[in-house]
Amino acid sequence: MLADLKKLKDEALTAINAAADVLNLEELENRFLGRKSGEITNLMKGLKELAVDAKREAGAVANEVKTAVAEALATKRNELAGVSQSEALSAEKLDITQSYLPPVEQGHYHPSTLVQTDLEDLFLSMGFVVLDGPELESDYYNFTAVNVPPEHPARDMQDTFYIKNHSGWVMRTHTSPVQVRAMQKYGAPLRGIVPGKCFRNEATDARHEHTLYQLEGIVVDKNINFSHLKGVLEAMARHLYGANTQVRLRPKFYPFVEPGVNGEVTCFLCAGQGCRVCKKSGWLEILGAGMIHPNVLREGGIDPKIYSGFAFGCGLDRLTMLKYGIDEIRVLKAGDLRFVNQF
């Protein structure tokens, strides 16, 4: 019996070693270890005819043979699958420290948000506070409080969305109403900026949107004059577009300032030489500004004989477009990932 077992073991190991493929291995497994008529199984069935001592000895050897053949089968199987035993084991390793969540792609800021937060940082560093105001605004704050009384023709400068069945309410057309809200709330002296969403009832094209972002600035203190305004605007323009950027201010009427100006910066593309983007002028309009009208200061509860101030309002979308060379305003809010993912 022992000799038979040994012979069978050698036979099995040689055959397994020589096996050419997995099917072959399966046949061998059946032939030697098969539960019903495997050769080793059959031999082991004969154990019960042996005497007690011989049975014990042969039983132990038979088990060894069975284990050796099973191991050889497993090793060969891995070898045929191209994996070594240790590789097979380490592939089974379970890393319990690994997160059970799949990796998430990290998000990023929209270009408009990048410019807005960049400017918030700049103005905070100059001692301004960042203010907020409602987008659904009263007619009073949007117009009357900033020196545009009812029926005044200046209301036509901005095409307004009025609220149906709620006369006296509008979607704010600019961030200027927050000038008066801030003065009423904080009084003078005051330094603040107001980034925010505004709405205008106008046809959209490459440069106009019905929903737009503005950044308002307001400074009220004793002895504030026009050169303070110019200094702040230059600081902003150079921060955004580089140290060589020039600012040009030319008279323009806004009811809430006196004098009022429109502000331009040297074209980022041609550096003032004149090109397609600046329509050959070398300048790009980015804002309206001026010294706060005494009527507006009064409306804010501030005495214009003691205090003076300046305000400016720039198109934040426009600043973003100029900063990144975007020539179509509508892509900013279209939600197209091919655009947004470039930033």
| Interface ranges with ligand PHE (CB under 6 A) | 174, 176, 254, 257, 260, 288-290, 311-313
CA separation for the pair 211, 115 (Å, rounded) = 17
**Angstrom distances, CA of residue 110 to CA of 17, 194, 249, 320:** 64, 19, 30, 10
Nearest residue to 119 via CA among 213, 215, 191, 190:
215
As measured in angstroms, the least distance from the Cβ of 333 to ligand PHE is 18
As measured in angstroms, the least distance from the Cβ of 235 to ligand PHE is 17
> What tokens were used for 84?
């070594």
CA angle (315, 319, 323) in 5-degree steps: 170
> What tokens were used for 73?
């089968």
As measured in angstroms, the least distance from the Cβ of 103 to ligand PHE is 45
Task: Give whichever of 254 and 283 is closer to ligand PHE, judged by the CB atom.
Answer: 254
Task: Give whichever of 196 and 260 is closer to ligand PHE, judged by the CB atom.
Answer: 260
CA separation for the pair 274, 277 (Å, rounded) = 8
Q: Phi first, then psi: what are they for 21, rounded to 5°?
A: -150, 180
Task: Give whichever of 38 and 177 is closer to ligand PHE, judged by the CB atom.
Answer: 177
First CA to last CA distance, the chain: 80
As measured in angstroms, the least distance from the Cβ of 264 to ligand PHE is 14
As measured in angstroms, the least distance from the Cβ of 290 to ligand PHE is 5
Q: Is 120 labelled a binding residue?
A: no
CA angle (247, 248, 250) in 5-degree steps: 150
CA separation for the pair 119, 196 (Å, rounded) = 13
CA separation for the pair 86, 73 (Å, rounded) = 16
Q: Phi first, then psi: what are they for 125, rounded to 5°?
A: -65, -20
Task: Give whichever of 16 and 212 is closer to ligand PHE, judged by the CB atom.
Answer: 212
CA separation for the pair 233, 229 (Å, rounded) = 6
CA separation for the pair 245, 267 (Å, rounded) = 8
Q: How many CB atoms lie within 10 A of CB 70?
A: 15
Task: Give whichever of 199 and 254 is closer to ligand PHE, judged by the CB atom.
Answer: 254
Task: Give whichever of 15 and 182 is closer to ligand PHE, judged by the CB atom.
Answer: 182
One-letter amino acid for residue 250 of the chain: R
As measured in angstroms, the least distance from the Cβ of 315 to ligand PHE is 8
As measured in angstroms, the least distance from the Cβ of 243 to ligand PHE is 26
Task: Give whichever of 213 and 254 is closer to ligand PHE, judged by the CB atom.
Answer: 254
Binding site for Mg(2+), by residue number, is 258
Binding site, by residue number, is 258
